[in-house]
Amino acid sequence: MGAWELLLVGVVMLLGLCGVLVPGVPGSWLVWAAVLVWSLQNPNGLAWGVLVGATAVLLAAQVLRWQLPPRRLRESGATRRTAIWAGAGALVGFCVIPVIGSIPGFIGGVYLCERLRLGRHGDAVASTRTAMRAGGSSVLAELFACLLIVGAWIGAVIWG
C-alpha cells in the first residue's frame, strides 16, 4: 500500500474519531471500515490481526455502551464546545501518555471547557460530573475504543 493510500486511510480514521463526538454519526464504524480496507490491501498476518483486534474492541465497546447510560448530553447542559474540548483533551492525552492518557484527557477537556464557561472550580467540577453521568462515559468508551484501534493501526504501519 502506497503512501497516498495510507494517508487516505488515516484521514478516514480521523473523520471517524471526530464522528464519535457527533451524535448520529457512525464514527467507530468509519474507523473499523478504514482498518478493513487497509487489511484487504495488505493481506498479511499483522494486518489481519489488527482487523480481528479492532472488531473485538468495537464489539466490546458496544456491549459496554449498552450497560452505560444513554447519551443525553444536551439535556445536561453540555454544548458542542464541550464535545470539542473533550475530544481535543482525549487526543492530547493519547499523545502525551499513549492510549491510557485519553481517559484523563477527555475528562480534563470537559472540565476545562466548564471552567472557562462557569468560572469557578466547584461549579466546573459539578458540571463535569453531571456531563459524565449524562452520557459522557458512553462517548468516552467509544472514543477510547477508536483510539485503541488507531493506535494499533499506527503501530502496525510503523513497525509492520
Residue 25, all three cell numbers = 454519526
**Low-confidence winner among 20-34, 87-101, 124-138, 146-160 (lowest mean pLDDT):** 124-138
Predicted model pTM: 0.75
* pLDDT band with cut points at 50, 70 and 90 for residue 24: confident
pLDDT band (50, 70, 90) for residue 77 = low
Residue 73's pLDDT is 55
The packing angle between helices 137-159 and 80-96, to 10°, is: 40
- Considering the chain, what is the average pLDDT of its residues? 86
For the stretch 98-132, pLDDT in tens is 878 888 998 899 899 989 988 899 988 988 888 77
Q: What is the DSSP string of 113-146?
A: HHHHHH-SHHHHHHHHHHHIIIIIHHHHHHHHHH
φ, ψ of residue 109 in degrees (nearest 5): -65, -40
* Residue matched to cell numbers 459522557: 136
pLDDT in tens, 48-76: 999 999 999 999 988 887 776 665 555 55
Answer for the pair 30, 19: CB distance below 8 angstroms, yes or no: yes
